[in-house]
Amino acid sequence: MLEACGLVKGVGRGRAHRRVLAGVDLRVEPGELVAVLGRSGSGKSTLLHLLGGLDRPDEGAITVAGESLVGCSERALTLIRLRHIGFVFQSFQLVEELSGRENVLLPTRLSGAPPGGAARALRLMDGLGVAAVSDHLPHELSGGEQQRFAIARALVNEPDLVLADEPTGNLDTAAAADLLGLLRAITDQGRAVVMVTHEHDVAGAADRVLEMADGRLG
């Protein structure tokens, strides 16, 4: 489902230049939940942004569901993200002026989105237990409810790969456990999930745990 080879990414210029990723290789199969564990600043989020097509590597190749993310146009990259990749952000990134339902529907209204988005959104909100509060604005929702809407938004176009950036960072213990159960349910549907975290107990819920250190996965 996902294959990354030789990923290199640097930040800064001149003497301030620093390599964040120094040749990362990663392969994730359908139905697999992989955790990338590492300290803050170790390059975990940078890696996730590259895998999600939100940034481009300096070197290396990335393939998601048979589609190359490297060397394609911005339009092609946008379509790949829209059809194959769902992203769950640590801070949820729900649009504050929109209801939970409207946030979930956002990706379905983009050009190139697969048809039937409204029906999928309703099924997801019902399945995630937030249909009853779908008219509420984000600030009217609990952290767990916001996260469930964020997951519904990530899944609404039925992506092959779901990327989660510190998904339990803003949740209490019970909500975090619920979220890990939801991520596991996603893999039961044959999708691949990659999550980055600095919490060892969270990483322990994965099928495979890789540690990020010195710009490499081990």
**All domains of the chain in start order, with CATH:** 2-217 (3.40.50.300)
Q: Please tell me what DSSP assigns to residue 35.
A: E
- What is the mean pLDDT of the segment spanning 182-194? 89
- What is the mean pLDDT of the segment spanning 204-216? 90
- What is the mean pLDDT of the segment spanning 23-28? 94
d(CA 175, CA 134): 18
pLDDT tens, residue by residue, 73-132? 999 999 999 889 999 887 888 999 999 999 999 999 988 888 899 999 999 998 888 999
Specify the pTM: 0.88
Q: Which of 65, 49, 61 is nearest to 6 (CA)?
A: 61
φ/ψ region of 13 (left if φ > 0, alpha if ψ in -120 to 50, else beta) reads beta
What are the beta bridge partners of residue 27?
3
d(CA 134, CA 199): 30
Q: Please tell me what DSSP assigns to residue 101.
A: H
pLDDT at 171 over 80: no
- What is the mean pLDDT of the segment spanning 57-82? 92
Helix (H) / strand (E) element for 180: namely: helix 173-188
